[in-house]
Structure 1
């Protein structure tokens, strides 16, 4: 597991998330721990290193 920090696309607060490095590509929705809005998270890993991380506002 890897702890990664990023800004929420709704409230702009810094939040952290544990990412599973054993899954090379994943996209899922998780609520912000501060404002509770849904965030779409896309993550990719190569050799257990984070190679891509993107968060999107689902209410666009």
Structure 2
């Protein structure tokens, strides 16, 4: 099962749970918010100790 992380949608502010693929260290992709359906630019990074960070930005701002 893939790990999850929760980020706020940059458009509607609703907290969105994302499933993260741990096979790549740095990730950047576009995913639609399941609440408002607007495109979010998702950035994911992993630390040396296995910690995970994710950020959601407006697709037009990225």
Name the TM-score, length of structure 1 as normaliser: 0.83
Structure 2 gap ranges (5+): none
Q: Give how far 1:46 is off.
A: 3.4
Q: Structure 1 residue runs of 4+, over 6 Å off? A: none
1:8-27 to 2 correspondence within 5 Å?
A: 8-27=9-28
**Count of aligned pairs:** 59
**CA RMSD for the aligned pairs?**
1.5
Counting strand residues as a fraction of each chain, which structure ranks higher? 1
Q: Give structure 1 stretches of 5+ with no counterpart.
A: none
- Distance in 2, matches of 1:46 and 1:20, equals 14
